[in-house]
């Protein structure tokens, strides 16, 4: 996260009643009443079913984010004159699942193309986990996403979206093709089916929980 | 989260508030009329997409601040029923995220709302929240 690890002594915490003065200290506790928001990312190539998946379990709305082109990794000398001051608008799939009043899970479906990587860094920050959607007819399109989450240590799974007419492959074959770590869950899904998508999302959170538990109790590891 | 609490200079806000374009602002992004040309990159840290906007008691009467735009007031109203994130507000108001960040930053300065700091999963106070998420998803 952009925020430091300390939550109790953060002098910049908005909403602290005494934020305008006084010393930071342990007395500045997080407000217990603040609700909790978590996010999951849905990544994958164009047409793999990200929008369908997010829409299957949540009210889905497009989210517009405008980014400075220079942040998109373009060489600066590519930008001339007025163009240098322009922005690019990127629409993401955005879904909200209200688990209870004070607990909300957000889904962000992110474009898989290279030119949108700059968006991912923000989205990945503080993400609970990620779903990499794969289509066995175009498996290579999810390599970049798998690499990305592996490198960042973000808990993720691969969900193979089983399109009609696409040849079915055994999970082991897909795993091998993706060179997937044994611990990364891989499952088959139908992004149009609510039950199937619920299972995908629950599994990724389970995976995140397992990793968290392991990290919190190193003594019992192995 | 926002640095508005530390860096906010409400007295300087207004038509002449071009201190928003300081040297740290980087390349100029297309100005937004609604935010008087300000962008969120200048003096404030970016509010996280899932940072939740929570009304303060003073928000019960947002109309008393004459400098608030209709969009400011709408944001305050939308956050009244149940918590909304920056992303919820942007999608609901059909505004780009950057504009919502600026507007919410104004409201934080005015102490009409506060913004929650999203908890990184590794810092969740206990894992029962994750169990609740898993069970909640299966029960949808
Ligand atoms: N047969 C089948 N079609 C799907 C499935 N998931 C998505 N589609 C279709 O594939 C197309 C692209 O899906 P979309 O969600 O827009 O992909 P996105 O580009 O990743 O957001 C749409 O026409 C969907 O209806 C699936 O599981 N099975
Ligand atoms: Mg889509």
Instruction: Look at A23 and A117; give whichever has higher pLDDT.
Output: A117
Task: Identify the pLDDT of residue A84.
Answer: 47
Task: Identify the pLDDT of residue A191.
Answer: 97
For residue A210, give every residue at least 6 positions away whose Cβ sits within 8 Å of its Cβ, in sequence order, or none. Answer: none
pLDDT confidence bin for B15, thresholds 50/70/90 = very low
Query: Are residues B26 and B72 both part of a single domain?
Result: no
Query: Are residues B62 and B125 both part of a single domain?
Result: yes
**Distance between alpha carbon B16 and the CA centroid of its chain, in Å?**
22
Q: Which residues of A touch B6 (CB under 8 A)?
A: 11-12, 19
**Residue A207 pLDDT greater than 90, yes or no:** yes
Among candidates B98, B137, B140 on the partner chain, residue whose Cβ is nearest the Cβ of A66: B98
Interface of A with B in 11-70 (CB under 8 A): 11-16, 19-20, 30, 34-39, 57, 61-66, 68, 70
Query: Are residues B76 and B113 both part of a single domain?
Result: yes
Query: Are residues B127 and B64 both part of a single domain?
Result: yes
Token output for B13: 């806000």
Distance CA B23, CA A175 (A): 49
**Residue A158 pLDDT greater than 70, yes or no:** yes
At A72-99, the pLDDT tens digits run 444 444 444 444 455 677 788 999 999 9
Q: Return the residue whose CA atom lies nearest to atom 13 of ligand 1.
A: A49
- Mean pLDDT of chain A, nearest integer: 78
In a domain? residue A32: no
**Residue B63 pLDDT greater than 90, yes or no:** no
Number of domains in chain B: 2
Percent of chain A with pLDDT strictly greater than 90: 50
**Which 3 state secondary structure label does DSSP give A60?**
strand
**Residue A12 pLDDT greater than 60, yes or no:** no
Instruction: Look at A177 and A220; give whichever has higher pLDDT.
Output: A177
- Mean pLDDT of chain B, nearest integer: 74
**Cα of A177 from ligand 2 centre, angstroms:** 25
Query: Are residues B86 and B127 both part of a single domain?
Result: yes
**Residue B127 pLDDT greater than 60, yes or no:** yes
**CATH number, domain with residue A149:** 3.40.50.300
Number of domains in chain A: 1
Query: Are residues B75 and B18 both part of a single domain?
Result: no
Rounded to an integer, the average pLDDT of B129-136 is: 96
Indicate if ipTM > 0.90: no
Query: Are residues B23 and B40 both part of a single domain?
Result: no
Angle at Cα A204 formed by Cα A200 and Cα A216, nearest 5°? 160
Query: Which residue range(s) make up the domain with A63?
Result: 38-216
Query: Are residues B77 and B92 both part of a single domain?
Result: yes
Query: Which residue range(s) make up the domain with B118?
Result: 34-140
Query: Are residues B124 and B55 both part of a single domain?
Result: yes
Token output for B81: 């029923």
Distance CA A52, CA A194 (A): 10
For residue A60, give every residue at least 6 positions away whose Cβ sits within 8 Å of its Cβ, in sequence order, or none. Answer: A51, A54, A93, A94, A95
Query: Are residues B43 and B71 both part of a single domain?
Result: yes
Task: Identify the pLDDT of residue A206.
Answer: 97
Mutation for B interface: A7, A8, A14, most B CBs within 10 A: A14
Q: B78 touching A, CB under 8 A? A: no
Angle at Cα A106 formed by Cα A90 and Cα B25, nearest 5°? 45
At A96-153, the pLDDT tens digits run 999 998 899 999 998 766 667 777 888 899 999 999 999 999 999 999 899 999 999 9
Distance CA A138, CA B131 (A): 34
In a domain? residue A22: no
Q: How many residues does chain A have?
A: 222
- The least confident of A117-126, A185-194, B38-47, B87-96 is B38-47
What are the E-state strand segments in B25-93? 52-55, 84-85
In a domain? residue A14: no
Percent of chain A with pLDDT strictly greater than 70: 70
Instruction: Look at A1 and A178; give whichever has higher pLDDT.
Output: A178
Rounded to an integer, the average pLDDT of B78-101 is: 91
Ligand nearest to C-alpha A47:
1
At A41-54, the pLDDT tens digits run 999 988 999 999 99
Q: How many residues does chain B have?
A: 140
């Amino acid at each position: 996260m952009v925020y430091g690890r300390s939550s109790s002594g953060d002098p910049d915490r908005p909403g602290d009643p005494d934020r305008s003065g006084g010393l930071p200290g342990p007395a500045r506790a997080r407000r217990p009443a603040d609700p909790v928001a978590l996010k999951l990312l849905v990544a994958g190539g164009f047409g793999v079913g990200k929008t369908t998946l997010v829409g299957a379990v949540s009210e889905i709305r497009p989210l517009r984010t405008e980014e400075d082109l220079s942040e998109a990794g373009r060489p600066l000398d590519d930008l001339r004159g007025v163009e240098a001051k322009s922005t690019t608008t990127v629409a993401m799939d955005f879904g909200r699942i209200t688990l209870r009043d004070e607990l909300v899970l957000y889904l962000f479906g992110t474009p898989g193309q290279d030119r949108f990587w700059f968006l991912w860094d923000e989205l990945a920050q503080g993400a609970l986990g990620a779903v990499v959607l794969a289509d066995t007819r175009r498996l290579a399109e999810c390599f970049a996403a798998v690499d990305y989450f592996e490198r960042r240590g973000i808990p993720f799974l691969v969900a193979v979206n089983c399109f009609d007419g696409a040849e079915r492959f055994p999970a082991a074959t897909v795993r091998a093709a993706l060179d997937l770590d044994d611990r990364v869950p891989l499952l088959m899904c139908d992004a149009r089916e609510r039950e199937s998508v619920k299972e995908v999302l629950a599994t990724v959170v389970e995976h995140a929980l397992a990793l968290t538990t392991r990290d919190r109790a190193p003594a019992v590891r192995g | 989260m926002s640095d508005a609490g530390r860096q906010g200079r409400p007295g300087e806000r207004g038509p002449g508030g071009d201190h928003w374009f300081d040297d740290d602002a980087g390349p100029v992004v297309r100005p937004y009329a609604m935010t008087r040309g300000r962008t969120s990159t200048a003096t404030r840290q970016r509010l996280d997409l899932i940072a939740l906007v929570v009304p303060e008691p003073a928000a019960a009467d947002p109309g008393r601040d004459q400098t608030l735009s209709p969009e400011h007031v709408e944001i305050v109203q939308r956050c009244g029923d149940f918590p909304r994130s920056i992303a919820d507000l942007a999608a609901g108001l059909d505004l780009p995220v950057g504009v919502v960040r600026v507007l919410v930053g104004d409201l934080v300065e005015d102490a009409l709302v506060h913004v929650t700091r999203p908890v990184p999963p590794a810092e969740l106070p206990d894992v029962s929240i994750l169990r609740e998420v898993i069970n909640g998803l299966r029960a949808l």
